[in-house]
């Protein structure tokens, strides 16, 4: 009986090893599949959520800072949007640094209902171009992501206004027949554009077909707090990049021996994404 027992034991061990090997190989493949850049999988699944920010919703939640500046530019943007038609407002300044602040004020007004009746049910959606271009390692991925965002915005049947802070990256000479430009030309997409003066002149103004799609709103940057500090002889000087609180701290302790836990100074402190992160407690 012992040989039969040994033979049975051998077969049992062989079957166990086979099952174990099958389990390892099967689950190893599954783990490898799940491990393939989960962030990229999420982005592919939800490109609209990844590459856009609903500024109107942030306005409803009180996560946008109100500003008394740029009343003229805000009124001009709202006027162009209210008129509708084939022309879209594009905010043009020297370096594109204040466009977010202007558009965020419009989002706050939409959230509060302090806009013309035709704008009250709109959502103001920002295309996060920095995130988009970081993700899009090639033209194919960029086109696919933009197409997905565009499809979602167009599905709202005009209830969404898309803000693109670097509109000349998508609307430029040679792109007259692109899906993005076609949606603008056919008045399916309502848009607020942003551009530096140089980029607008170089990429959009050179094409009459593209220039006809926009109503240029020239932005004049106001003087900032602290503009009296330093050399003010240069025309257009708007101060340095040191906040008044930090400058006072430096004045109170010229030796630099006083220690503090954290100093956070953001050049784009009014950026909606940054403020949302700070308000969430994760920053």
Tell me how many domains the chain contains.
2
Instruction: State residue 12's pLDDT score.
Output: 64
Burial of 267 (0-12, 13-18, 19+ CB in 10 A): exposed
Q: Do 120 and 58 share a structural domain?
A: yes
Instruction: State residue 155's pLDDT score.
Output: 95
Mean pLDDT of the chain: 78
pLDDT class of 265 with cuts at 50, 70, 90: low
Q: Give every CB contact of residue 238 below 8 A, 6+ residues apart in sequence.
A: 221, 222, 223, 224, 227
Q: Do 253 and 170 share a structural domain?
A: no
Does residue 260 carry a pLDDT above 60? Answer: no
Between 139 and 73, name the one with better pLDDT: 73
With respect to residue 76, please indicate whether it lies within any of the assigned structural domains.
Answer: yes
pLDDT class of 246 with cuts at 50, 70, 90: low
pLDDT class of 87 with cuts at 50, 70, 90: very high
Instruction: State residue 84's pLDDT score.
Output: 87
Range of weakest confidence among 17-31, 81-95, 114-128: 17-31
Q: Do 258 and 170 share a structural domain?
A: no
Q: Do 183 and 102 share a structural domain?
A: yes
Q: Taking the CB of residue 236, how many other CB atoms lie within 10 A of it? A: 8
Q: Do 207 and 79 share a structural domain?
A: yes
Q: What is the pLDDT of residues 174-209, one digit of tens each?
A: 889 999 999 999 999 999 999 999 999 999 999 999
Between 221 and 35, name the one with better pLDDT: 221
Q: Do 103 and 188 share a structural domain?
A: yes
CATH number at residue 96: 3.40.50.300
| Alpha carbons 52 and 162: distance in angstroms, whole number | 9
Does residue 44 carry a pLDDT above 50? Answer: no
pLDDT (mean) for 216-228: 70
Instruction: State residue 96's pLDDT score.
Output: 81
Report the predicted TM-score, pTM, of the whole model to 2 decimal places.
0.65
Q: What is the pLDDT of residues 95-124, one digit of tens each?
A: 888 999 999 999 999 999 999 998 998 999
Q: What is the domain range of residue 261?
A: 244-280
Q: Do 258 and 183 share a structural domain?
A: no
């Amino acid at each position: 009986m012992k040989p039969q027992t040994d033979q049975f034991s051998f077969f049992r061990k062989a079957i166990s090893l086979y099952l174990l090997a099958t389990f390892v190989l099967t689950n190893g493949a599954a783990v490898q599949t799940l491990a393939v850049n989960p962030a990229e999988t999420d982005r592919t699944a939800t490109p609209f959520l990844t590459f856009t920010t609903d500024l109107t919703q942030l306005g409803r939640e009180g996560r946008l800072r109100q500003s008394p500046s740029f009343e003229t530019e805000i009124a001009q943007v709202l006027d162009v949007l209210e008129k509708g038609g084939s022309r879209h407002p594009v905010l043009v300044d020297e370096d594109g640094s204040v466009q977010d602040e202007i558009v965020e004020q419009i989002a706050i007004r939409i959230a509060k209902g302090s806009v013309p009746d035709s704008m009250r049910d709109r959502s103001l959606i920002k295309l996060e171009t920095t995130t988009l271009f970081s993700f899009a390692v090639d033209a194919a991925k960029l086109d696919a992501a933009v197409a997905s965002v565009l499809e979602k915005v167009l599905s709202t049947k005009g209830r969404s206004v898309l803000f693109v802070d670097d509109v000349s990256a998508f609307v430029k000479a040679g792109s007259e027949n692109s899906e993005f430009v076609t949606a603008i030309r056919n008045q399916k997409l309502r848009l607020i554009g942003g551009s530096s003066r140089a980029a607008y002149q170089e990429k959009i103004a050179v094409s009459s077909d593209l220039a006809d799609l926009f109503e240029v709103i020239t932005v004049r940057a106001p003087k900032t707090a602290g503009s009296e500090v330093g050399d003010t002889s240069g025309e257009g000087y708007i101060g340095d990049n040191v906040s008044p609180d930090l400058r006072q701290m430096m004045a109170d302790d010229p030796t630099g021996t006083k220690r503090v836990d954290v100093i956070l100074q953001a050049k784009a402190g009014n950026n909606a994404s940054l403020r949302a992160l700070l308000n969430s407690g994760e920053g």
